[in-house]
């Protein structure tokens, strides 16, 4: 269906409305970690900074259900950089093509093997002949509410570059959060940064969320 990546006539156009569940992990990355993670698209910093790792299960989207793992790298204000998604795996080829063509997101195809039991979750990702995994544990606490309208706009504005073009867009979302108690990785540095070597700040399970991905503003790089 997507033999010609430059042909968008068969793509489901933005905006997209999506629903699902997610696991959001907040990490502080040291300058040394960022230097080692440059092959994954993370920009070096002399001070270090916060990034988010998100495991997402989309139960409803314009192209059906699919799974996703991504790194959301936050702004470097002094360098006038917006948030970016430098590394991302998804479970369907349709998501790969739509992400690349509509928003310039560098999606790669992988398989996701989930095991969810009560407050325990594990997921194994396989890409080509390589794999890595994570184990998470939820806290038994009350839920809190999150809405993107209450988050600084600069943190939500995402800019991507893909095949000579710049893509800029502002997703919006809302949902409820349950704190995560523990996160442990079985890493493979050939596929994904080793977040066991980063400082885990906190994490949240989002049992139900609503997400809007708007149409991107696209410009040609010169």
- List the chain domain ranges: 16-220
Q: What is the pTM of this model?
A: 0.93
Nearest to 94 by CA among 69, 54, 61, 123: 61
Average pLDDT over residues 89-117: 97
Residues 53, 90: Cα–Cα separation, whole Å: 14
Asked whether residue 222 carries a pLDDT value surpassing 70, the answer given is yes
Average pLDDT on 146-159 reads 82
Whether residue 48 has pLDDT greater than 80: yes
Question: For 51, phi and psi rounded to 5 degrees?
Answer: -135, 160
Interval 22-47 mean pLDDT: 94
pLDDT at 10: 85
Q: What would be the CATH architecture of the domain defined by 16-220?
A: Beta Barrel (2.40)
pLDDT for position 1: 35
Residue reference for tokens 């390589």 = 130
Cross-strand bridge partners of residue 54 = 24, 70
């Amino acid at each position: 269906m997507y033999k010609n990546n430059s042909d968008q006539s068969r793509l489901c156009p933005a905006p997209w409305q999506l629903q699902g569940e997610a696991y959001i992990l907040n990490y502080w990355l040291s300058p040394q970690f960022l230097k080692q993670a440059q092959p994954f698209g993370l920009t070096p910093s002399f001070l270090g900074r916060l990034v988010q790792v998100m495991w997402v299960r989309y139960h409803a989207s314009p192209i059906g259900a699919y799974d996703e793992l991504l790194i959301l790298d936050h702004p470097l204000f002094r360098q006038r950089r917006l948030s970016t998604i430098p590394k991302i795996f998804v479970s369907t080829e349709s998501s790969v093509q739509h992400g690349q063509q509509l928003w310039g997101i560098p999606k790669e195809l992988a398989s996701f093997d989930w095991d969810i039991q009560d407050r325990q979750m594990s997921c194994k990702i396989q890409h080509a002949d390589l794999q890595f995994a994570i184990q998470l544990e939820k806290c038994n606490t009350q839920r809190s509410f999150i809405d993107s309208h209450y988050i600084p706009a600069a943190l939500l504005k995402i800019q991507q570059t893909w095949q000579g073009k710049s893509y800029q867009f502002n997703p919006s979302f809302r949902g409820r959060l349950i704190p995560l108690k523990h996160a442990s990785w079985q890493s493979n540095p050939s596929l994904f940064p080793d977040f066991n070597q980063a400082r885990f700040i906190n994490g949240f399970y989002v049992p139900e969320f609503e997400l809007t991905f708007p149409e991107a503003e696209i410009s040609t790089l010169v």
